[in-house]
Amino acid sequence: MFVERIDRARTAMREREVDALLLSVGPDLPWLAGFAALALERLTMLVLTEDGPARLVVPAFEADRVHDPEDLLELIPWQETDDPAALVATALGGAAGGRLAIGDHTWSRFLVALQSELRGSSWTTAGTVLGPLRAIKDDDEIAALGRAGAGVDQIALALQSGEIPLIGRTEVQIAADLRTMILASGHSKVNFTIVASGQNSASPHHDPGDRVVRPNEPVLFDFGGTTAEPDGHPGYCSDTTRMVFTGTPPAEYAEAYEQLRRSQEAGVQAARVGTPAESVDGAARSVLHDAGLGEYFLHRLGHGIGVEAHEDPYLVAGNSEPLVAGNAFSIEPGFYIRGRWGARIEDIVVATADGPRRLNNSSRDLAIVEA
């Protein structure tokens, strides 16, 4: 698997005139080589040039935790008093001084050190090379995303059925339940657990706080994690949003929610191979606009998803790239009326030759739970 991905990365490097990839923390390295760098101050960095071995600069005492099932990596271990940036420069060989693509999530302290070491080089991001490759999922990746989706769908069901108590509990307490359930549902990592009750539902990325959920208000739940996979296989992400109302919703809210449901459906149905990403956004947005809710839809329609929770393709005005088969992304319109309430509905969808396929299948109705 990784041999083939490295070959594709090298082809993309040539197309984009990039002489080397330099990957550290973040999802590129696990996707490309089956191994994650620790997010700490000791540099781990994959150095991939157009030919020769893939070299991994790694703290010597962490060499034993490098998974290299396909025996692809030439390890360059460094001791506590060595300068890892200098070792990266050496590992670059003839590519030093060329056009270098740094991993998007690499800590800036390492890029600053590398730029000081490699003064003649020009810099771009690894995302320009790997983003388009990662955006097209193969069957195994779609299966992993499907398992991730099924895991969080069970949690959505527990919220919608009232199995997870809401009224009288704080957002933080409910978020802790979600964290536990995400880890119990095939995920190795929790990425986020938004619980936004009452007026807080008008803040799209609300941090759960000490507010207690009361009767007769909406509660927004947006949660996901990264699946647990065998050693050397990167995990894939889940991400879904569902709404619960703690009582009978006022007609005004119920009607707005129904328009949101129609908007989300329109977005999913528009998500077809060949359709520009921004047109999918537009299809969902126009439903809310026509319903007089357009001004309350504050963000883009969606983001790609894979080994990273947010990645290419982004469904946003200005992105005219057409969808291709294997793209996986969220469709998540919302409305957010400050001081009152908000709502969002989110599914992960895959663009296939047979049309859009949802990977989240819990009910998209507004769930009612009574006190």
Give the binding site for a second copy (CB under 8 A).
Answer: 38, 40-41, 59-62, 64-65, 80-81, 102-112, 115, 123-125, 127, 176, 179-180, 183, 202-207, 209, 231, 298-300, 303, 309-310, 316-318, 336, 338
Question: Least distance from C-beta 248 to a second copy, angstroms?
Answer: 27
Please choose, from the candidates 62, 96, 94, 99, the residue with its C-alpha nearest in 3D space to the C-alpha of residue 77.
62
Question: Least distance from C-beta 244 to a second copy, angstroms?
Answer: 21
Q: Which is nearer to a second copy, 91 or 367 (CB)?
A: 91
Q: Which is nearer to a second copy, 64 or 71 (CB)?
A: 64
Q: Which is nearer to a second copy, 146 or 208 (CB)?
A: 208
> How many other CB atoms are there within 10 angstroms of residue 225's CB atom?
29
Burial of 51 (0-12, 13-18, 19+ CB in 10 A): exposed
- Residue that the structure tokens 């991730």 belong to: 148
According to DSSP, the residues that pair with 45 across neighbouring strands are: 57
Q: Which is nearer to a second copy, 302 or 356 (CB)?
A: 302
Q: Which is nearer to a second copy, 67 or 214 (CB)?
A: 67
Question: Least distance from C-beta 159 to a second copy, angstroms?
Answer: 20
Contact 344, 241 (CB under 8 A): yes
Q: Which is nearer to a second copy, 345 or 369 (CB)?
A: 345
CA-to-CA separations, 33 to 5, 17, 29, 121, 333, in angstroms, rounded = 8, 22, 6, 25, 35
Question: Least distance from C-beta 72 to a second copy, angstroms?
Answer: 19
CA-to-CA separations, 207 to 185, 274, 288, in angstroms, rounded = 23, 37, 26
> CB neighbours of 245 closer than 8 A, spacing ≥ 6?
216, 217, 218, 219, 253, 366, 367, 368, 369
> How many other CB atoms are there within 10 angstroms of residue 17's CB atom?
9
Question: Least distance from C-beta 313 to a second copy, angstroms?
Answer: 12
Question: Least distance from C-beta 134 to a second copy, angstroms?
Answer: 13
Tokens, residue 115: 């730029």
